[in-house]
Amino acid sequence: MKLRTSLTLLVATTASVIAGVALASADNATPSELYDEHVFASTKGGAMMSRTVVDGQVWEVGRYTSRAGFQCIAQRGPGDANGDTCTPADAMFADGRRVFALFGASHEPGAARDSWTRVWVYGIAAPSVATIEIVAHDCSRSAAKISGDRTFLHVAAGAALRRGRVPYRLVAHDRAGRTIFERAVDVGSPDGMASAPPPTPIANRCSR
């Protein structure tokens, strides 16, 4: 199984890989930080996980504060779709970022070599964010529910991916419905080829 995760402005990240290839980035991490168990060690009680079921499979996401004082998000899914990501609290929403967003994809043996089996988007939303939408390549929009701890998780798999509902962009709105943050979601393809960007901006291609 192949697993690809894309991580934004992280201090440390860990992913569970049973077999295959894992691709990840951690922009602000040193090799020693990546494997520092103290970073990931949770405070008493750990993360309170929110659960969702997609195509009969359980996915969970939650957040916690590590013993080192980092803000961490834990994501659990089927097979090797698991990982914890930690960052200093003051870096999570730095530079006007309203959503600390991460995304990943996995490819099952036997599936088409140029298609992911699952694509997921998750993270933590700032208090100013009221709603999050995931826009797909076919211009469909899906709401990503924000839990009480401000975490969210959206999973596209199976028939949704076959219909072209591959996540393309994350859009966050405030309570007045105004767009206050956007970012691309691009996991490329399992064969290593980058996915082709749409020819025009999302605002023009996928109007309401």
Most confident of 91-100, 155-164, 172-181, 189-198: 172-181
Domain limits, the chain: 2-205
Q: How confident is the model at residue 171, as a pLDDT?
A: 97
Q: How confident is the model at residue 106, as a pLDDT?
A: 84
Are 104 and 5 in contact by the 8 Å Cβ rule? The answer is: yes
Q: How confident is the model at residue 86, as a pLDDT?
A: 87
Residue 22 pLDDT > 70 = no
Identity of residue 161: L
User: 208 pLDDT band (50/70/90 cuts)?
Assistant: low
Q: What is the pLDDT of residues 84-125, one digit of tens each?
A: 888 888 899 998 999 999 988 887 766 666 678 889 999 999
Residues 6+ apart with CB under 8 A from 168: 135, 136, 137, 184, 185, 186, 198, 202
Beta bridge partners of 52: 59
121 to 41, 142, 169: CA distances (angstroms): 24, 11, 10
Q: How confident is the model at residue 38, as a pLDDT?
A: 46
Kindly write down the DSSP assignment for every residue of 105-127, as one continuous string.
EEE-TTS-TTS-SEEEEEEEE-T
Q: How confident is the model at residue 196, as a pLDDT?
A: 46
**pLDDT-above-90 percentage for the chain:** 29
- Evaluate if pTM is beyond 0.85: no
Are 131 and 173 in contact by the 8 Å Cβ rule? The answer is: yes
**Is residue 118 exposed (0-12), middle (13-18) or buried (19+ Cβ within 10 Å)?**
buried
Most confident of 84-93, 122-131, 155-164: 122-131
Residue 15 tokens read as 């992913």
Q: DSSP class of residue 204?
A: H
Q: What is the pLDDT of residues 187-204, one digit of tens each?
A: 777 665 444 444 444 545
User: 41 pLDDT band (50/70/90 cuts)?
Assistant: low
- Stretch among 66-80, 84-98, 175-189 having the lowest mean pLDDT: 66-80
Q: DSSP class of residue 42?
A: B
Helix H or strand E segment including 34: helix 31-34
User: 23 pLDDT band (50/70/90 cuts)?
Assistant: very low
CA distance 127 to 146: 10
**Look-up of token digits 């969702």:** 52
Q: In what order do the strands lie in the sheet with 57-65?
A: 12-16, 82-87, 71-76, 57-65, 50-54
User: Torsions phi, psi of 135, nearest 5?
Assistant: -95, 130
Are 39 and 84 in contact by the 8 Å Cβ rule? The answer is: no
